[in-house]
Amino acid sequence: MATRTRASKQTLTLLSALAAKPSQWHYGYALSRETELMSGTLYPILMRLEDRGWLETQWETSEALAEGRGGRPPRHMYRLTAGGRAWATEALSAARATSKSKSARATLKPARQHPRIQLGEPGLERA
């Protein structure tokens, strides 16, 4: 249901991370590091986004696990749905417009890249 809900600063940060590579699947831990959101904040937001149909979730398949990483459980993956992308674009645009005012500037903190990503480790750009 396309209800208009005001997005929090944390939700906007997560949306900007998810919307940066919308077709790609994301992992919880990677999102946590990228957005600097604590897991206790991140997961309830993910759960809420999924409830509203804005987030698609999927468990890793057994084929993926078989590719040399045995011994660990399958992981949960996330990406925005079409509706979620539309809402994210709208919410982020609205937030950017608001950020012009001094008081709201802080709410649009861009998702900080992980230091290792900034260092340009080989292979990371493929993500």
Q: How far is the CB of 20 from another protein (least distance, A)?
A: 13
Comparison of 32 and 99: residue with beta carbon closer to another protein: 32
| Single residue of 8, 9, 58, 82 touching another protein by CB under 8 A | 58
C-beta neighbour count of 13 within 10 angstroms: 25
**Does 62 interact with another protein (rule: CB under 8 A)?**
no
**Does 96 interact with another protein (rule: CB under 8 A)?**
no
**Does 30 interact with another protein (rule: CB under 8 A)?**
yes
First to last CA, the chain: 31
Residues in region 36-55 near another protein by CB under 8 A: 38-44, 46-48, 51-52
Choices 9-17, 66-74, 82-90, 92-100; region in contact with another protein by CB under 8 A: 66-74
Q: How far is residue 72 from each of residues 65, 66, 67, measured CA to CA in Å?
A: 8, 10, 12
Choices 11-19, 83-91, 96-104, 117-125; region in contact with another protein by CB under 8 A: 117-125
Spell out a b/e string for 71-105, using b for 16 or more CB atoms within 10 Å of the CB, else e: eeeebebbbbbeebbebbeebbeebeeebeeeeee
